[in-house]
Amino acid sequence: MSLHLLKLCVGAESLEDHREWIAHTLERKRRAGLPEEQLHTTRMVPKQRDALLQGGSLYWVIKGSIQGRQKLLDIRPFKDDEGINRCHLVMEPVLFATRPQPRRPFQGWRYLKASDAPADLSELGGQSIEFIEPAMRQELIELGLI
């Protein structure tokens, strides 16, 4: 069974906003001749690396609820310029919308069991509903219609 990470997506107003940021960051790296991979730097290195890399994802909390996920590709510990241990979480640059699941603010990241992870919106009812405008989608979810 996969293990996942949960992290606050600070600065993003919506899932679409985060998608635009990912695209902008990858384009900037491409223009600079850097590897086109999405990295997120964190201070703590996950101890359960092997479990996370066996199909795990990084679930993003945006505006108080889990709203999306990205597949984890690698976890790369390193020391920064000041000698402090840090970690790059390497993710697939595809952001999947998930069924919103409320979460309170927290610092750093948290482990998320596969059994507690929200389903992708595309998996609900076997049809993709990601095309629905986000506010309308949220209202439909709250009404229990999706």
CB 14 within 8 A of CB 63: yes
Give the count of alpha carbons within 13 A of 69, CB side only. Answer: 25
More confident residue, 65 or 2: 65
**DSSP 8-state class, residue 47:** T
Q: Average of pLDDT values for 3-12?
A: 94
Nearest of 53, 46, 37 to residue 7 by alpha carbon: 46
**Site of tokens 């790369």:** 76
**Site of tokens 């960051």:** 25
**Site of tokens 């730097």:** 41
Q: What is the mean pLDDT of the chain?
A: 88
- pTM: predicted TM-score of the whole model, two decimal places: 0.85
Q: What percent of the chain has pLDDT over 90?
A: 64
Is it true that domain 3-118 has CATH number 2.30.130?
yes
Identify the burial level of 127 via C-beta atoms within 10 angstroms of its C-beta, where 0-12 means exposed, 13-18 middle and 19 or more buried. exposed
Nearest of 65, 45, 55, 53 to residue 109 by alpha carbon: 45
Helix or strand holding residue 54 (H, E):
none
Is residue 125 pLDDT above 60, yes or no? no
DSSP characters for 123-139? GGGGS--TTS-HHHHHH
